[in-house]
A and B are shown apart, each in its own frame.
Chain A
Amino acid sequence: MNHEEHVVIERFERGWLVFGIGMIVVFVVLIAYTMANFGGSIPVGTQRIDPTKVRSEGEFANPRIEQIGNEYVAYVQAFAFGYLPAEMRVKKDRKVTFYVTSPDVQHGFMIERTNINVQVIPGEVARVSHTFRKAGEYQIICNEYCGLGHANMISKIVVEE
């Protein structure tokens, strides 16, 4: 390989390296932008909780969904094997904030056809929110492996007009 060819190839290499690293930066910036601005569906660990007392004390002893002004707040227990409340009803186009925790082992809290997918860890309360734009039934399923009844952990949220 003569010198000139070498220089050309080196220029190519440098160009592609810059391009490659540039793309990674663009990639990360885009993800950061999306997460910061449309990040409601990102679960946030809000507080610690004693998993042995989830069923008897505090907000989760009374699992429910309640309307506060124009929004909904839901306190959900994911347990082996099921969810409480077993069914939730909301109106569409209203923001719903879920607080989820578990009294026993880890579970999943995934709402079909949305971006909500929470790993529910006993001892932690996860918060995640979503606004349902379409009426209909959305299934909630568990996708953290939790034992024998893992496949049967199903609940639903009904979104009304």
Chain B
Amino acid sequence: MAVQAPTPSKPGGLSGTLALIWDLMTTSDHKKVGLIYLVTSFVMFGVAGLMAVAIRWQLAGPDGRFLVGDAYNQMLTLHGATMLFFFIIPAGLSGFGNFILPLMLGERDVALPRINAFAVWLFLFSAILIYTSLFFGGAPDVGWTFYWPFSASRPGHGVDFFMLGVLLLGISSLLGSANFAATVYNLRAKGMSLWKMPIFVWSIFATSLLSLFALAGITAASLLVFIDRKLGFSPFNAAIGGDPVLFQQFFWFYSHPAVYIMLLPYLGIAAEVASTFARKPVFGYRFMVFAQLGIAVVGFLVWAHHMFTVGESLLFQLVFVFFTALVAVPTGVKIFSLLGTLWRGHLDMRTPLLFVLGFLFNFLLGGITGVMLAVVPFDYSVHDTYFVVGHFHNVLMAGSGFLAFAGLYYWWPKITGRMYSERWGKLHFWLFLVGYLLTFLPQYVLGFLGMPRRYYTYPDGNYLWNEMNLISTIGAITLALGGIAWLIGVIDSFRRNQKAGDNPWGGFTLEWATSSPPPSYNFAVNFPRFFASERPLYDWNKEGLETTPVDVRDIHLPAPTVWPFMTALGLLIMGVGMAISPNAHPSGLSGVAGWQGWLAVGLITFIYSLFRWAGKLEYDVPVEHHTVTNKSNAWVGMAWFIVSEIALFGILIAGYLYLRLSGAAQPPEERPAIWLALLNTFFLVASSFTVHYAHHDLRSRKMSPLRFGLLISILLGTVFFLFQAYEFVAFRGHVDPAEQLWATMFFIIVGLHGAHVVIGGTGLALAYYQAIQKKLDDHNHGTLEGASMYWHLVDAVWLFIVSIFYIW
């Protein structure tokens, strides 16, 4: 949108709330996207918090009757899933990340604004999808860990909704992370090198890389559970030689690094808050960055400490003990860095700093109990008792949760343009601190006393159980009161409407160099190109450097479009249709009437919106963009996204290799014909060349050969797909994947590749559509660039698949 004509696509006659909603639906402004994330995740925090109070109410005394049996289990599952997937992960990474990161980098937008808008709606819709299960026979009740085969055996469609919600959320999360990585790589104020970025930016960068590498684990786990439920075959099935432990390997391969995805953005916030309110630079900036990257790396090597009781070998366990102890080192560095930042500072005891101090003390407790759990013999004693519950709430609630609020209070003036009341803020903090201690410290004791987790009730007469549980419930109610104090503080801030200045705390990072709230174009100035440290405002002040004003009429922002929203909506409708379709497991679970209708409407909406989206240029006026790497944003974003695809195929193929080499998965007598595979290889490799030359033609502006090349590539992809479909039907005719492990792996991995051919082919079709519409030129070729890179990936993966499935 050109600045002088705000929201030009507004249909006539809309006003007030409707206009606001329309504006949000069509926006690609990173601040509004960030706001949607923030509002959703903090509302979700409230919802899941109330569930926690309900759970504690049931456990307040022995033999509670408030929330019994499956109602308790559903509540427990939704509490865990909501807090993790819809509060802790998105609030810091996507919420504050989207709002603050481009500001800190001194930029006007993120690298891929429309992908970003798509990601935020997909995030919101995945939450809606999971909660939609309530209208189709009940919420999932399998715990947020959905262990196989328990999750495959549950009646009702709750688990189906849960799995699809997790998958959609995963796509959203990957797109969001690729966008962040591309933004940090490509868009920084001129002169700002990587080592001059604020700590918060580093933490978002490290977290994005972590999700890009790790998310494949949960995608694989949830996809395989979903396939088992709908199609009835699974590589975990021990009856045909599969390995049930493999599920946990997949699941924890993501879900432990996820703990750091839940923590790192918040550590960045803590560093910013501590530095601002202690009026000192971050202590040991470089080491802080190394520590963050160190956590991201070591975080990958600790997943099996969730599986000490599974019965793995001694050496296997010891390796994970070592890395689990080791990960405490960079975490310790971060704590020391925070202490060093605060040391001898002129502490300004405002609410954000109070939350950081509360975090420091309590997170240390959580960290130490974590190291205790790393001691395997001790772990046997308390595994799956309330000790573990106390531990992870210690880390997540008093760790990440407190810092989420530190960030909220810290950036509240910047985001809303209003000051908040310190009185309510401090009351909120103290109620949270006391409530938190009362709730979770007794749970450590309960763990030692042997109370297992996930029990909806307990009998009278156990030593101290009644007392400790009662204290814990009183603590939960105190937390709820703290939540009310927070809510009142928010309302109070809006009612008093005390305007915030540009820089109320005297911060030195670039988000404080614009008005509160920032205008849509963020900055109407050019910054000096001098960056001596990660605190540019301080350096410029010292050197006497000034910013130079820019005429806002020269600033161009992406045009608003509703199609990313509609595309995500199509996926939501499709998701409902898929969830309520008939199941293979548990047997006899039939579909809900009309599921085909949902699926068809969703698919049509999705495809139609996708093409409309591709048919609309990002900018209304041609603009030149400066990028740091000189690569286009689409190129860098897709490069990072491909990392996640490689991880997904990598993890599944690793599972296949394990099953094949251990002798469990043996190919059947009659295998899919190799000549067909080789023919298909020829088609796919040829199409990679045609795409390459088509792209080449674009650079030399030969539009007609470009269109021809794209068309040929799409046709070759289609032929490949049809041949493969034929092969699948033929192979399925004489081998049942539910009975044969090799066939199970074949259908899963080759089928997943087939799905990627469809996705890649759709991408090429979008580029072809743009070419026909004359929307494709050497400035606007992001779709073609991304699609052709993706197509090469599909090609490369296929070569791998041919060698391990057809030749071997």
A→B interface (CB under 8 Å): 20, 24, 27-28, 31-32, 34-36, 38-39, 41-45, 48-53, 104-106, 108, 110, 112-113, 115-119, 121-124, 126-127, 141-148, 150-151
Contact = CB atoms under 8 A, between A and B. Distances in A.
Interface of B: 69-70, 73, 141-143, 145, 147, 149-150, 153-154, 236-239, 241-245, 307, 309-314, 317-318, 321-322, 325-326, 329, 332, 375-377, 380-381, 383-385, 450, 452-458
A28 B309 contact: no
A124 B153 CA distance: 18
Contact of B309 (A32, A119, A147): A119
A115 B311 contact: no
Contacts of A36: 314
A35 B150 contact: no
B239 A51 contact: yes
The 3 closest A-B pairs by CB, nearest first: A123-B238, A45-B311, A143-B384
Contacts, number: 138
A86 to B, nearest CB: 18
Contact of B452 (A45, A110, A116): A110
Contacts of B314: 35-36, 39, 42
B480 to A, nearest CB: 25
A33 B394 CA distance: 30
Contacts of B322: 24, 28
Contacts of B236: 123
B234 to A, nearest CB: 11
A50 B239 contact: yes
B377 A31 contact: yes
A41 B379 CA distance: 11
A48 B314 CA distance: 18
B311 A150 contact: no
B459 to A, nearest CB: 9
Contacts of A38: 377
Given A24-B329, A42-B376, A118-B309, A145 B150 contact: yes
B574 to A, nearest CB: 30
B310 A45 contact: yes
A121 B376 contact: no
Contact of A50 (B238, B243, B455): B238
B239 A144 contact: no
A24 B150 CA distance: 37
Nearest to B318: A32
B73 A151 contact: no
A118 B311 contact: yes
Q: Is the interface of A mostly helix, strand, loop or mixed?
A: mixed
A28 B318 contact: yes
B340 to A, nearest CB: 12
Given A45-B311, A51-B238, 14 more contacts: A28-B321, A28-B322, A35-B314, A42-B314, A43-B311, A52-B239, A105-B150, A110-B383, A121-B310, A124-B244, A146-B150, A148-B69, A148-B73, A151-B457
A138 B322 CA distance: 33
Contact of A117 (B317, B321, B383): B383
A145 B454 CA distance: 6
A114 B372 CA distance: 18
Given A20-B329, A105-B149, A31 B375 contact: yes
A19 to B, nearest CB: 12
A117 B310 CA distance: 9
B317 A35 contact: yes
> Which of A44, A48, A121, A147 has most B Cβ within 10 Å?
A121
A160 B313 CA distance: 33
Contacts of A24: 322, 325-326, 329
A147 B146 CA distance: 11
Contacts of B69: 148
A8 to B, nearest CB: 17
B143 A121 contact: no
A126 B309 CA distance: 10
Contacts of B311: 43-45, 118-119, 121, 124, 126-127
B747 to A, nearest CB: 20
Contact of B238 (A20, A39, A105, A122): A122
A31 B320 CA distance: 12
A145 B151 CA distance: 11
Contact of A151 (B242, B310, B458): B458
B326 A42 contact: no
B376 A115 contact: no
A148 B143 CA distance: 12
Nearest to B154: A147
A122 B244 contact: yes
A43 to B, nearest CB: 4
A30 B276 CA distance: 43
Contacts of A48: 238, 241
B318 A31 contact: yes
Contacts of A113: 450
A36 B313 CA distance: 11
B149 A122 contact: yes
A53 B239 CA distance: 9
A123 to B, nearest CB: 2
A145 B456 contact: no
B694 to A, nearest CB: 50
A61 B314 CA distance: 30
B150 A115 contact: no
5 contacts: A31-B318, A105-B149, A117-B383, A144-B147, A145-B143
A31 B203 CA distance: 33
B73 A117 contact: no
A24 B318 CA distance: 12
A155 B266 CA distance: 44
B593 to A, nearest CB: 28
A119 B153 CA distance: 18
A117 to B, nearest CB: 4
